[in-house]
Copies of this chain bind each other. A is one copy, B any other.
């Protein structure tokens, strides 16, 4: 359903300029937006592309206010504004409430009348599905697991027994919440399993990506605080706590009992050792291994720069002999000091 720019501004604010009554039905990138679509520029360097665009309307930053005479909304954060407009123009489809006949809901489970349970979903004994929550096709919600209101489980999600989700939690396909942590005791070379009796607790407004795994606690709970965003294929081990509003990119692993602060940003394929604490507002770069606690905000990195393979081979040989190289420098310093002393 199309919206006029004045309707949009009345919802989300911003300064509306040169409105011509256009109604926009979709968001689109600057280079292929058409006359019924709205595009945005968040970085000033792209303002030069505004003139060539066929977009019917624009969302621009203050410095782009006069870059066009087209209908436009000026706002300090065009990317955020675009997010709001896109959500308005692309409302998530809301399946009809009710339990699909091909779902299996245990008689001892409670499903809110406004919730939707799709074909093939299996809901265990004592589970509780809140108002307007959607359980997608072939999801499994274990015994006594609970979902708050307005949650969205895409297809093929698994939630183990007793785990608890807040409101507006989004779980993508293939993610697993509450699998056993990797807890093992060793008895003369053989591994003995430690029962994992904690839960996973997930706060409001959390989103978890596809095939991300979050293990239940061993004794205490694994906790994902409100507003955390996890990308795909992330491993969260038992007893981890991730602070509110932290965002973690794909392929990252967090070992057992690590405590991650609030408002952190963790790059892809980072690895965090167990039993360490990371302060609020820390940033960790892609491919970085964090081996000890970080007590101060800042950006932390460990990643070998890539090279053409032949060059890499020449340098890599020295990496394994750095200690010897350093020794040779020390020796040179000694010898040269002696020479200098002789003058």
Contacts and interface: CB of A to CB of B under 8 A. Distances in A.
Interface of A: 26-29, 32, 77, 79-80, 82-84, 86-87, 90, 92-93, 100, 102, 104, 118-120, 122, 124, 136-138, 140, 142-143, 154-156, 158, 160-161, 170, 172-176, 179-180, 182-187, 189-195, 197, 205, 207, 209-211, 213, 215, 219-220, 227, 229, 231-233, 235, 237, 245, 247, 249-251, 253, 255, 263, 268-269, 271, 273, 283, 285-291, 298-309, 311-323, 325-326, 328-329, 332-333, 335-336, 339-340, 342-343
Given A29-B220, A328-B333, 12 more contacts: A122-B138, A174-B174, A176-B232, A182-B229, A189-B263, A271-B286, A289-B306, A298-B308, A300-B308, A302-B305, A318-B322, A332-B332
A326 B327 CA distance: 12
Contacts of A309: 283, 285, 298-301
Nearest to A155: B140
Contact of A194 (B82, B306, B332): B82
10 contacts: A84-B192, A122-B137, A179-B209, A182-B250, A213-B232, A249-B255, A269-B271, A301-B306, A302-B307, A305-B316
Contact of A195 (B86, B142, B186): B86
A219 B29 contact: yes
Contacts of A245: 189-191
A161 B32 CA distance: 23
Contact of A306 (B172, B195, B250, B288): B288
A184 B247 contact: yes
Nearest to A248: B182
A229 B182 CA distance: 8
Contacts of A187: 77, 80
Contacts of A271: 251, 268-269, 286-287
Contacts of A312: 300-303
B173 A176 contact: yes
A334 to B, nearest CB: 10
A211 B176 contact: yes
A329 B322 contact: no
Contacts of A79: 185, 194
B253 A195 contact: no
Nearest to A250: B235
Contacts of A155: 122, 140, 142, 158, 160
A158 B173 contact: yes
Contact of A251 (B84, B253, B335): B253
B322 A332 contact: no
Query: Which of A92, A137, A317 has the most chain B CB atoms closer than 10 A to its own CB?
Result: A137
Contacts of A255: 249-250, 268, 286
A209 B182 contact: yes
B136 A137 contact: no
Given A83-B193, A271-B286, A179 B158 contact: no
A15 to B, nearest CB: 18
B326 A325 contact: yes
